[in-house]
Amino acid sequence: MTNQQILERLPYSKPFLFVDELLDVNENGAKGTFFFDADLDFYKGHFRDNPITPGVILIETMAQIGVVSLGIYLLDDDFNKQTTIALTSSEIEFLKPVFPNEKVVVTSSKKYFRFGKLKCVVEMRNAKDEIVCSGTISGIITNK
């Protein structure tokens, strides 16, 4: 499966799609990018006069690139419109803020994928190659 095919199968659309490009997806992990445009709605109120990207959005970005994209790759032909992917747990440490108009790179490494549960070690880096946040994210993949 190509990276473009994975992007097309992601179950999100703007304004809740946080994947611009998948750089690499293989059986061991995924790597991709997202640009946080200053016009995104959540910047209007987080924080007033000093906008930063909310932590929950950073987690969602890491999940979409590092877990969901990898899950689609691992399922390949078994991924279809009846497949659902849900976050089951995350443990993320936030080290630096992400400001409007920043591009980030997310990298994940598969810890395990069994019984429909995918657990990954993830990290997000900014344009200076500094770790912004890192930790683990787990998701469950089932058919409706």
Structure tokens at 138: 């787990």
Structure tokens at 134: 């890192």
| DSSP-assigned states of every residue in the chain | --HHHHHHH-S--TTS---SEEEEEETTEEEEEEEE-TT-GGGGTSSTTS----HHHHHHHHHIIIIIHHHHHHHGGG--TTEEEEEEEEEEEE-S---TTEEEEEEEEEEEEETTEEEEEEEEE-TT--EEEEEEEEEEEEE-
Task: Report the catalytic residues.
Answer: 46
